[in-house]
Amino acid sequence: MALTEAKMREFHVPGVAIGIIDNGLVTTRGLGVTNVEDALPVTAHTVFPIASISKTFAATAMMRLVEQGKVDLQAPVRQYLPDFRVRDEAVSRDVTVWNLLTHTSGWEGQVSGPERGEDTLRHFVTTVSDLMQVAPFDAARDDAQGKPHAAVWSYNNAGFSVAGRVIETVTGTSINRAIRDLVFTPLGLSHAGTTAGDFIVNRFAAGHANRGDAPPALQRPFAPSTSVTAGGVGLCVTDLLTYAGFHLGDGRSASGERLLTRASLEQMRTTQLRKQGTDDDIGLAWHLRTVGPLRVAAHGGTLAGHVLLLAIVPERNFAIAILTNSQNGWRLIQDVERAALVSYHGATLAKNQGIAHRGLVETLPTAEPLTVQPNPGPYVGRYLRPANAVVVRAEGAKLFVQERPNTGEPRPEMPIAFFGPDRAVVIDGADRGQSIEFVRAADHTVTWIRVVGRVAVRANQ
């Protein structure tokens, strides 16, 4: 806990809830305050919105429906949502539930819809009919799984929103009720919820905005995710460790009720696909990486001044949850998680290990640029997503990457250097240490750039 407190001071993080499961022994601790303007101590029962960690809850609920015979992961989405449509008709016809849970549909994923109560997901699905296909579907197949998927992996919130609508359709109830019935209630998660109304009746960790050395400022208003399955769950660290313990176990709740088979839990954390340009894999919602001798399944989250992480190591019966109420929380999280893996298991990331996006920003711990950098020519160009362009330019032998939103000011340029084939790291500025990946098409031309997990496609491809 001393390291966590030191990192709170270093990165100006107002509040943290942290918990560890170590071979059955559960330890939780609340540190700091919920709100810099109305300071209450963070406790083990303070509720945090867990943002994209919610995706693992969605997948857990979906696997329960699979075991009940209500969902087939390999079935087309249209089997459950007959009117489903995106811009590409072939994708609309062929995309499966498996694609939704593995971020492999290939359409633009960083989209959401307005809050419409119990009609939110139903309405959202009607708005994606012209959603851009940033990577062609069925252009590649995973050798191990033999399942159609997009040509390049890209983090996809929209896919999990569609998955939520599938859950609503097969259960005949709202996603709020379905997640409660399928996950919260059987696991006894007493502080878990999916709406601001659920959160407000608990001690709640308000989000704070700050970057670099700036002091934390309360973020107003609090804006919860409009999609429960992409990022709308909130709960305390005690409940999150109960949930983690379930995923470390044999599929039974603490009361002994069988919720999933051990095989289904293992399937969720079995590699479904390699994230090209990295050394990480994707399971069913869980993001997978090897750290020293360990296989770690994890998911992070970022939302409205909150950054959070849950990581589990089933082979060691170990889990760590770190919940922060600060935009700077990712820096604390990566340092504390890595220190915990070293302290408890002697496990460290390898030099030049290409880590990938897990729902929160991270930096490469050790990236050693190549002595001879590749010719910048093949990488220079303009790469497109619906809401922004990513421009890669050369200045001599050096490359610079800049995100340029369609509206608003461009982000600062990021100088990059390659540490492996098509794998680069930001070498200066506020984003120093973050990874950027280039992905080639079947003809070996550089066709996509991936920044913070999301791909943009090269113009004129």
CATH 3.40.710.10 residue ranges of the chain are: 1-362
* Residue carrying structure tokens 């009919």: 129
Taking the C-alpha atoms of residue 173 and residue 370, their distance in angstroms, rounded to an integer, is 54
Taking the C-alpha atoms of residue 63 and residue 49, their distance in angstroms, rounded to an integer, is 23
Distances (CA, A) of 336 to 20, 46, 309, 375: 12, 20, 11, 37
- Predicted confidence at residue 330, as pLDDT, reads 96
DSSP one-letter string for 139-191: EEE-TTT--EEESS----HHHHHHHHHHHHHHHTS-HHHHHIIIIIHHHT-TT
What is the topology classification, in CATH, of domain 1-362? Beta-lactamase (3.40.710)
Distances (CA, A) of 409 to 220, 304, 390, 432, 434: 22, 20, 13, 20, 21
Q: Which pTM value belongs to this model?
A: 0.96
- Predicted confidence at residue 368, as pLDDT, reads 93
What is the topology classification, in CATH, of domain 377-458? Lipocalin (2.40.128)
- Predicted confidence at residue 143, as pLDDT, reads 47
CATH 2.40.128 residue ranges of the chain are: 377-458
Q: Mean pLDDT, the chain, as a whole number?
A: 95
pLDDT (tens digit per residue) in 385-422? 998 999 999 998 899 999 999 888 999 999 999 999 99
- Predicted confidence at residue 397, as pLDDT, reads 87
Contact 253, 186 (CB under 8 A): yes
Taking alpha carbons only, the member of 205, 227, 453 closest to residue 322 is: 205
- Predicted confidence at residue 139, as pLDDT, reads 47
Residue 182 φ/ψ, nearest 5 degrees: -85, -25
Token pair for 197: 């109304």
CB within 8 A of 279, min separation 6: which ones?
289, 290, 353, 354, 355, 356
- Predicted confidence at residue 126, as pLDDT, reads 95
**Residue 455 DSSP SS3:** strand
Residue 314 φ/ψ, nearest 5 degrees: -55, -35
Q: Is 112 exposed, middle or buried (0-12, 13-18, 19+ CB in 10 A)?
A: middle
**Residue 206 DSSP SS3:** coil
Distances (CA, A) of 230 to 45, 161, 182, 402, 425: 23, 6, 16, 27, 28
> In 253-355, at which residue ranges do the beta strands (DSSP E only) sit?
273-274, 281-282, 287-291, 294-303, 306-313, 318-324
pLDDT (tens digit per residue) in 226-283? 999 999 999 999 999 999 999 999 999 989 999 999 999 999 999 999 999 999 999 9
Helices marked H in 232-390 = 237-248, 262-268, 329-345
Contact 94, 217 (CB under 8 A): no
Using 70 as the pLDDT threshold, list the residues of the chain that sit under it: 138-146, 461
